Amino acid sequence: MIKKILNKNIFFLYFIFIFFNVSNVFANTNNLCDIFYENIRTFNSELELYNAPIFEQEQKFFGFLLNQDFDTNSGDWIYSRDKNNNISIFNVYYYSNSYDKLNKNDKINKLNNIEVSSLSDAEIDDIIYNNDKIEFSIINNLNDKSKTFTIEKSFFEQVTDVVPIFRINSLKNIDVKNIEYTVNYDLEYWWLDNRLINLIRPEFEAQVGIIKDLIEESKNTYGESFSEDTFISGWWCELTKEEFYNENLFLWHPEIEFINLVKDDLENKEIVFRFNYNIYGENYEELYLQVKENGIATFTKPSQLDFRAFPFDSHKLDFIYADVKQSISQMSFDFDHNLNLPLDGNVRAKIYEWNIPGEYAQIEPFDHLDYESYQYDGIKASFNIDRNSSYYIYKVLAPIMLILAVCWSVFWLRVDQIESRLTVSIVCLLTLIAYNFIVDENIPKLPYLTALDQIILSSYFFASIPTILSIVYLNISQNSNENLLDSQNYVRIIAPILYFVTVLSIMYANINKNPSALGSMKSFFG
């Protein structure tokens, strides 16, 4: 009996012991983030965490990137070539030896006195990566002047690289009259700050395990497949924007904002700060900070839209973002990770008036701008939209042509039925004027004529002709000039043909002036 009681008590005590130990481990795990935040607050002044984490290049570098295109056939990135088969500059790093010599979009036509047009991509790579000094011959994008100079590779203090990832989830509205467009978007950006590693490693090892033991365990698990890129272990913490500032961490971080923002829906906006500590291979660990932003916002274009080809017009929607509070001596965007912006089906949905022809948006550096006596770095993401012209074809152009047909039907009435002729032609002319008001509601007040304006004005002219000719032919009939009176038989056939030729000529001329309009026209006929 006593033995049974003792056994029950031992089991109970053992259960209590396990429960408290598990609870402590769980509590310690939850407290790891709090310990990390406290360490940041404690050592912030000593480590100067309020300044940008500037570091030196691990390898010598010329300090520029080249423009590239994605080859769908090979699945590789290839150098962008102009009509002369030259390559061009995509971006130039601040503080590098190239910064005062190269500009964005400069064309390189010679490397070490060898014509670039005769070199393959592999040969260009061989010259750039295997030489510490190269003689460049470039054509400046600002003045088209050619110049030659030598650039040496160097180690340089690189400003903080911020990697942005911008996604458009869906288009909500496109208001071309006010040149505004509303989208649901995701904006993520992250940067390394390895100064924080020592503030988390001791607590991480106490709870997860000694790093060298984790490495050995991973080696045994992966065997020959183990490499420097093998992920071993990691940890993360997440804070909302309000929590981040309430913690009083005073950490340096970018404050990226949209330059061409019109309206921000703050009620549907979410911003999260995330700390990620990762261990790879034998000799590499990293701690990077990530900001994830999701929201609905309305944007505008910095420049005017071209409506000359309307309703066969195409436009480019821009999304420009930068950190205007950080100069290019503190941070820059890493474009290596940001060469394209995929556009999925959700982007194309529910905007019936517009078609999005491409699968990718274009990503390019936003020109450095002066802002309170310093320069900052930025990115412009953009994609094309083609107007779906079906509405204007079926509900504007087709009715106009029918109205013109009715208008020209007066030549099948007797010449002496002047009242009937004038009634029909004038009513048709007034109807055309009403259609002009419909068009004006959909586009801004422009200082030039659109393609549709030209068609409608031509329709005015051809709708006026029956009125004028009806009066002329009435006078001819009264003067008994049968030869001239017979000419209306030719007019009733020739005039409609001339009208159709005029309309086609207007459309052709506008497409030639605006090649982008071809996409909109193709989308209609397709």
pLDDT value, residue 39? 94
Q: Return phi, psi of residue 405, to 5°.
A: -65, -45
Question: In this predicted model, which residue has the larger pLDDT, 4 or 92?
Answer: 92
Are 288 and 192 in contact, with CB atoms under 8 Å apart? Answer: yes
Q: Which of 23-37, 129-143, 308-322 has the lowest mean pLDDT?
A: 23-37
Is the backbone of residue 210 left (phi > 0), alpha (psi -120 to 50) or beta?
beta
So what's the pLDDT on residue 521?
57
Superfamily of the domain at 58-157: PDZ domain (2.30.42.10)
Asked whether 491 and 409 are in contact (CB, 8 A), the reply is no
Whether residue 336 has pLDDT greater than 70: no
| Beta-bridge mates of residue 133 | 152
> Does the 390-525 domain belong in CATH 1.10.510.10?
no
Contact in structure between 252 and 49 (CB atoms under 8 Å): yes
The whole-number average pLDDT for the span 463-474 is: 82
Which pLDDT score is estimated for 383?
Answer: 83
Q: How confident is the model at residue 323 (pLDDT cuts 50, 70, 90)?
A: confident
pLDDT over 60 (residue 516): no
**pLDDT at residue 342 in the model:** 59
| CATH architecture assigned to 159-387 | Distorted Sandwich (2.70)
Residues 6+ apart with CB under 8 A from 138: 89, 102, 106, 107, 108, 109, 146, 147, 148
| Contact of 309 with 451, CB cutoff 8 Å | yes
Nearest in space to 463 (alpha carbons), one of 397, 396, 410: 410
Rg (CA), the chain: 35
Domain extents in the chain: 58-157, 159-387, 390-525
pTM given for the model: 0.71
Percent of the chain with pLDDT over 70: 83
pLDDT on residue 145: 80
